Amino acid sequence: MRGDVRRRRVGILGLLCALLLASLGQTAGADELVVTVADPFIELRTGPGRGYPVFHVVEQGQPVTLIQRRTQWVEVRAPRGHQGWVSRAQLGRTLDGTGEYLALQERSLSDYFRPHGEFGVGVGELAGTTSLTVQGGWAFTDRMRLELAWTQANSDFASRRLLDVSLSALLAPRRRVSPYVLVGTGRVKVTPRTVLVNADVRNERSVQAGAGVRAYLTRSFIWRAEYRHYVFLTDKDDNEELEQWRTGFSVLF
Amino acid sequence: MANRIQRTFLSAALLCVVASLSPAVAFADARGDTSAREGSAREGAAATILTPQVERRRISESQIKGSNIEVGAFAGVISIEDFGSSAIYGARVAYHVSEDVFFEAAVAQARAGDTSFETLNPGVELLRGSERDFRYYDMSVGYNLLPGEAFVGGNRAYNTSFYLLGGAGSTRFAGDDNFTVSIGAGYRVILAKGLTVRLETRNHVFDLDVTGRNKTTQNLAWTLGLGGYF
């Protein structure tokens, strides 16, 4: 059993390495993107950041080929084969094939109002202990979101892992900051700490309701804070109830 | 005689060069039209040298291939408090949000050795079987503090950055999951084609009660990693 797990892990690691090598071996396709410099010149840096030195300039009227983008920088190839990184701001002052300025659209509030995906992490408090959450979601209208969240909280007595699916509705759609309400369901796995004897691992269903606030910050960033009230449907006479507060950041894509 | 042979060879060589300059020339040549050949050769050569091949089309940002994700694997040594030093290996995925900030998720595992107490008292076992497995996952925020270049010899320079990392996660050790805070720093060297090498040190801090009383443990790891941008 342990051998299987190890073999699988080695397999996954091998696959990652293969993917890495495969991607590095790729060469640029024939479909090249070429723009023309419109400003007196643009600067090429050795790396994608203001801390890397400028090593070349391309003059007005010269064509440059766009290779790849990373954060706010785009790697280009100049006519004589010099390859370097140009900031978005400078690249926005180049002309594309139609003679217009290159359309560089950063993520904006309008993307946030359109259907989009979100992925984020958060920290919080679940039943008196620190909890960590990873969540993903799909905003299928400007008001409704379907979300999947995985939470882990390790207390002195047990480790709780929660997997929740929830549906949330914004109360002030098409606003930068909006409160929301949510309902959801999921499962919880409670693993007691090894120092406790006669305690079993429990795997139960949960239902939850909550409310929160979310705000679009800038570019692709969203901040959120929320409260959830969980009811765990146990085999015992009484259902167990827990509260969770959490806050976190998400990026939209 | 020698002159005639030279002339024949030279004109054949010239013909080859002109023919290779433009496909149109080859076509004209096949028809034996000398004047057309010379004219289009001149145009063809001029077109290759002077006019950039800019297509008449709109270019949007989404057409440019993005490479903000860094994926990699790492291996090194971790000193697990009270349990000696062990080999550690793992994998990580980072998303570069800006030139300064990146988010990173990592998983890794090691196997703890014996405590001094166990070494001195043969037969005593503090942890059994899989309880010695040390596994963690964490999510961190990184900041590229010092971007720059490293020079190897006189003609070779690599982009580098010194970065700081801080995060939180969970460590499974001694049979329990423990909330873990980790802080660290590293040095990233970007080799050709987006291949990265990372030397990193991280301290994983969590509370452990395996020795009978709850204490905060410091588990320092040194790792060397290889990765790439996607």
A95 falls within a domain: yes
A169 falls within a domain: yes
Residues 209-228 on A with a CB inside 8 Å of B are: 220-221
Percent of chain A with pLDDT over 70: 87
Ranges A72-76, A78-82, A216-220: which has the least confidence: A216-220
Interacting residues of A32 by C-beta distance below 8 A, sequence separation 6+: A65, A66
Question: Could you identify the residue written with the tokens 């060069």?
Answer: B17
Same domain, A131 and A60: no
Same domain, A40 and A75: yes
Q: Which residues of chain B have pLDDT under 50?
A: 1, 16-37, 39
Which residues of chain A neighbour B228 with C-beta distances below 8 Å? 20, 23-24
Cβ–Cβ below 8 Å for B228 and A50: no
Q: Which ranges of chain A does DSSP label H, i.e. alpha helix?
A: 2-25, 88-91, 109-113
Q: Of A55, A75, A104, which closes a domain? A: A104
How confident is the model at residue A198, as a pLDDT?
A: 65
Cβ–Cβ below 8 Å for A100 and B58: yes
How confident is the model at residue B10, as a pLDDT?
A: 57
A23 falls within a domain: no
Render pLDDT for A21-43 as a digit per residue (tens, 0 to 9). 555 544 444 578 888 888 889 99
A20 falls within a domain: no
Q: Of A70, A104, A138, which closes a domain? A: A104
A201 falls within a domain: yes
How confident is the model at residue A4, as a pLDDT?
A: 59
How confident is the model at residue B27, as a pLDDT?
A: 39
How confident is the model at residue A3, as a pLDDT?
A: 54
Closest residue of chain A to B73, computed from CA coordinates: A13
Render pLDDT for A87-119 as a digit per residue (tens, 0 to 9). 988 888 888 877 788 877 777 888 888 888 999
Render pLDDT for A166-223 as a digit per residue (tens, 0 to 9). 999 999 888 999 999 999 999 999 888 877 666 788 888 999 999 999 999 888 889 9
How confident is the model at residue B32, as a pLDDT?
A: 42
Tokens, residue B80: 């697990």
Check residues B191 and A234 and name the one with the higher pLDDT. B191
- Please give the ipTM for the structure prediction: 0.77
Same domain, A122 and A196: yes
Same domain, A87 and A117: no
* pLDDT of A9 higher than 70: no
- CA distance linking residue B48 with residue A81, whole number of Å: 16
Closest residue of chain A to B98, computed from CA coordinates: A71
Partner residue opposite A195 with nearest CB, options B147, B157, B209 = B209
Check residues B213 and A78 and name the one with the higher pLDDT. A78
Same domain, A73 and A136: no
Question: From the CA of A33, how many Å to the nearest CA of chain B?
Answer: 7
How confident is the model at residue A21, as a pLDDT?
A: 54
Cβ–Cβ below 8 Å for A132 and B170: yes
Same domain, A173 and A89: no
Q: Of A104, A121, A138, which closes a domain? A: A104
How confident is the model at residue A22, as a pLDDT?
A: 55
How confident is the model at residue B226, as a pLDDT?
A: 96
**Strand segments (E) across chain B:** 65-66, 69-79, 85-96, 101-111, 133-152, 156-173, 176-190, 195-208, 215-229
How confident is the model at residue A233, as a pLDDT?
A: 85
How confident is the model at residue B94, as a pLDDT?
A: 94
A72 falls within a domain: yes
Which residues of chain B neighbour A15 with C-beta distances below 8 Å? none
Cβ–Cβ below 8 Å for B61 and A69: yes
Partner residue opposite B59 with nearest CB, options A16, A35, A79 = A35
Name the amino acid, one letter, at A218. T
Q: What CATH number is given to the structural domain containing A53?
A: 2.30.30.40
Residues 159-178 on A with a CB inside 8 Å of B are: 159
How confident is the model at residue A125, as a pLDDT?
A: 93
Domains for chain B: give ranges and CATH numbers. 2-50 (no CATH), 63-229 (2.40.160.20)
Taking the alpha carbons at both ends of chain B, their separation in whole angstroms is 65
Q: Residue A68: give the domain boundaries.
A: 30-104
Tokens, residue A48: 């994608």
Mean pLDDT, residues A121-144:
91
Q: Tally the domains of chain A.
A: 2
Same domain, A95 and A121: no
Residues 97-156 on A with a CB inside 8 Å of B are: 97-98, 100, 102-105, 121, 123, 129-130, 132, 134, 152-154, 156
Confidence bin at A18 (pLDDT 50/70/90): low
Same domain, A43 and A88: yes
Which residues of chain A neighbour B130 with C-beta distances below 8 Å? 2
Which residues of chain A neighbour B194 with C-beta distances below 8 Å? 24
- CA distance linking residue A61 with residue B140, whole number of Å: 44
Which residues of chain B neighbour A199 with C-beta distances below 8 Å? none
How confident is the model at residue B14, as a pLDDT?
A: 54
Same domain, A201 and A225: yes
Same domain, A235 and A144: yes
A16 falls within a domain: no
Exposed/middle/buried for residue A2 (C-beta within 10 Å: 0-12, 13-18, 19+): exposed
Same domain, A36 and A151: no
Q: What CATH number is given to the structural domain containing A154?
A: 2.40.160.20
- CA distance linking residue A208 with residue A237, whole number of Å: 19
